[in-house]
Structure 1
Amino acid sequence: MLWLSGDSILRMGLGFILNVWLARYMGPDKFGIFNYAMAMIAIYTSVASLGMNGVVVRELVRNSESTDRIMGTSFLLQVSGSFLAALLVVLSTILLRPGEWDILLITLVMLPSILFRSSDIIKYWFESIIAAKYTVIAQNVAFLISAGIKMLIMLQGGSYVAIAATVSLEALLVAIILIYLYRRKTKNYAWCVERQEIGRLLSQSWPLIISGLALMLYMRVDQIMIGNMINNTSVGIYSVAVKMTEVWYFFPVAIVSSLFPKIIKEKEKCEKSYNKKMQFLYDLMVATGVVLAIIVTLLSDYIIAFFYGEQYFEASRLIKIYAWVSVFYFLSSASGRWYINEGLQKYALNRNVLGLAIGILLNYLLIPIYGAEGSAYATLIAYGCAAYLFDILSPKTRVAFWQKTRALWIPSAILRIKNTISR
């Protein structure tokens, strides 16, 4: 957890400074185009991964003797998913923004970053053996090189197309370093592909593919719809608010990635202990999310005024709304792994489709009335419905709903966290 957090704290600090510099250098319009393309790429990352993350980690933990078969088959599937995702990105951009060649150009320059995501299979292996430091090393080195090149481009007065190319460069560097570290860590490996394993993995992950696509859509559809219904400048301003909040999203990733392999094993030993650990995880997610939301809400005006300047001041109002999305995002991160461990992938799909439908509908209704602020409210409501209220609809997920309800009562959640840590 410390390794993953350390990685993200570096990204948070340098990434925040870099994002401020990019926003001021490009201006709201070009920054909006840049983030529109980034949103389009992000939407299809779930297709590239084929929903394999949680499934592969679980299979590697449970069947360590079959590591080569799982790794080889999963890699082939992810390569196939990456090419499919790249095609979908191009088609979607052409359909949604026909004739806008500047957006298509930026998207094409960023497109290789999707293809290099096939190396994520090595990240899953490191996660399964709780060796996050190798992933952190790869990501940090690549990030620092990419950040340095971005700064040089801006110092030289380069174009935002060149800046966009560093997104693909960073993904390439991560892939190269991960492969190098994996070969050093594992001397004897012989990845292989089995047709039967392809069918088995896809049968477990296909709901997660659609679920992940729906999740990324309702995480990014606000920026896409603002770009289509208002203008690129509004996307740029809205993106500042989103990035100010999402800079903290490494917390749930670090916590869940570190704790869940042990929680998986706990289920095999004692159901009661397993549920207690899940409750602790939900408590931790909510407490962290609320603290961060309060801090961001109180400081947003000062941060925007000091770092971004008057041209982005409208973003401070958006942050006060969007910051509270993090509470439900954190809950969703924890329960997403729980769905996989319980074999409830179809429920994960259903909740994300529900969140997407609510998000699109509310964006469509609220953006014409309230502008970008309406989109922030739409995103908050959609997250609340999908990450929390959805679980009450089925007996199979209702236990998660009650655990989340207890976690949302902050005083009790903090007390349980304190008691658990003090034992």
Structure 2
Amino acid sequence: MKIISRINKSKSISNMIWLSSDSIIRLGLGFIISVWLARYLGPDDFGLYNYAYAMIAIYSAIASLGMNGVVVRELVKADTEKNVLLGTSFFLQIIGSLVASVFVISTTMILRPHEWNLVLIVLVMLPSVLIRSSDVVKYFFESVVSAKFTVISQNIAFVISSLLKILMIFNNGSYLMIGFTVTIEALITALLLFYFYKLKHKHFSWKVDFQEAKRLLSLSWPLIISGVALMLYMRIDQVMIGNMIGNAAVGIYSVAVKMVEVWYFIPVAIVSSVFPKIIKIKEVSELQYNERLQLLYDVLVVVSVSLAIFVSLFADYIISFFYDIQYIESSRLIKMYSWVCIFYFLSSASGRWYINEGLQKYALNRNLIGLLIGIFLNYILIPKYGMDGSVYATLIAYFCAGYLFDVFSHKTRLAFYQKTKSLWLPGAILRIKKTISR
């Protein structure tokens, strides 16, 4: 009863539940749709669809200009007038979206020249990048720990997009038509976010301030490059498999990746919900601040290890039950790839810690190192081990960037020590148990 009472009173936990419920719906419906698409399109077209989606995802960091953590922090601190901060951020992200769109098209044509079927599906998905500027409204709702409006918007859009995919499968729609649902989902989400914001703020009076724009860019520019580097080393494996093996291999590999990435909502929900409170605690007590950070790492490690064990144990059953025989190789890949989530979970928390400590350049360096290691190892290991080699490369890159990187500077070594303590599972479980029992 004590725990239930605490949940009812805690805005952070309520916010976390909203964010988690959003992704649990996506987990169920999204998994079914993904299976259906994989079986309907076959490895080749499913690989083409995922290659195009990877290209869109890589440059989404340019569209957002790395402003998520920065804008949330500035809104929480309230040093700048809210309408100026939101209006200026929105203006900057429109510019970022346009630049990102140019990069998407040019990179696709350089890497896969004359493959017009790939260029077409990229163009069909491209408007979803241009609409990314609406994320500014999500930053606002995150800053006031009120995720339900974001959750409702994203879920309505996701359900509509999913129903359209099902409709297209029943009517023998092409992969191009299915790709267009990515744009439709982004558009509906954006419209609903602005609708909910307008309900709470009758007078919509965002303002653009070019001095504020310069200030925000000076804070976020390392995060722009860092975000691109992060998305590259999250997706570069699929891009390199597509270039070095073929679209069918991307389709098989993507099944393994999606089986693991479907759980990535968990660190986002946890970190987004508790970090605004952690930021405020720092102003009161550095000791309490570090204790809360340690607890955050503990929770993320325990959850991620549990997920990795679960996915590894049941991968064979999941693939054999849900997927066609063409995807049977994915089972082996999943068992290895599932352990990537430990270091992804840790990175989610330390990334926000970097921003709060003004260490954006370290986030940039970390992701660049992860990217370089990933590219180098993929280049060496894919020809020798095929798709298995790409999993090895990704796991090593995440380990180096998400954990080992922090040991090399005195400014980030605290995060390394905290992560190391969390990776000792008995200690992490004891600290969580002690906190719950208070």
227, 233, 237: which one aligns with 1:222:
237
103, 109, 114: which one aligns with 2:118:
103
Gaps of 5+ in 2: 1-15
The aligned amino acid for 2:286 is E
Residue 304 (structure 1) aligned with residue 303 (structure 2): no
Give the alignment of 1:12-411 within 5 angstroms.
12-63=27-78, 66-411=81-426
Deviation readout 1:45-70 (Å, 9 max, x if unpaired): 10000000000000000016610010
> CA 1:64–1:175 in 2, change beyond 3 Å: closer, same or farther?
farther
Cα distance in 2 between the residues matched to 1:197 and 1:363: 41
Deviation readout 1:117-169 (Å, 9 max, x if unpaired): 11000000000000000000000000000100100000111111100000000
Cα distance in 2 between the residues matched to 1:188 and 1:30: 47
Cα deviation, residue 310, structure 1: 1.0
How high is the TM-score relative to the length of structure 2? Answer: 0.96
Cα distance in 1 between the residues matched to 2:413 and 2:76: 27
How high is the TM-score relative to the length of structure 1? Answer: 0.99
Cα deviation, residue 309, structure 1: 2.2
Cα distance in 2 between the residues matched to 1:117 and 1:293: 31
Cα distance in 2 between the residues matched to 1:144 and 1:188: 30
Cα distance in 2 between the residues matched to 1:212 and 1:420: 33
Cα deviation, residue 188, structure 1: 3.2
Cα distance in 2 between the residues matched to 1:237 and 1:225: 14
The percentage of aligned residue pairs carrying the same residue is 66
Cα distance in 1 between the residues matched to 2:275 and 2:283: 13
Cα distance in 1 between the residues matched to 2:79 and 2:195: 21
Cα distance in 2 between the residues matched to 1:209 and 1:326: 23
Cα deviation, residue 189, structure 1: 3.8
Tell me the SS of whatever aligns to 1:44: helix
Tell me the SS of whatever aligns to 1:51: coil
Cα distance in 1 between the residues matched to 2:411 and 2:204: 39
The aligned amino acid for 1:240 is V
Deviation readout 1:294-340 (Å, 9 max, x if unpaired): 00000000100110121100000100111000000000000000000
Cα distance in 1 between the residues matched to 2:275 and 2:428: 19
Tell me the SS of whatever aligns to 2:20: helix
Deviation readout 1:89-114 (Å, 9 max, x if unpaired): 00000000001111111100000000
> CA 1:171–1:334 in 2, change beyond 3 Å: closer, same or farther?
same
Aligned residues: 423
- The residue aligned with 2:12 is none
Cα distance in 1 between the residues matched to 2:95 and 2:437: 47
Cα distance in 2 between the residues matched to 1:365 and 1:422: 50
Counterpart contact for 2:74–2:80, Cα < 8 Å = no
Counterpart contact for 2:301–2:346, Cα < 8 Å = yes
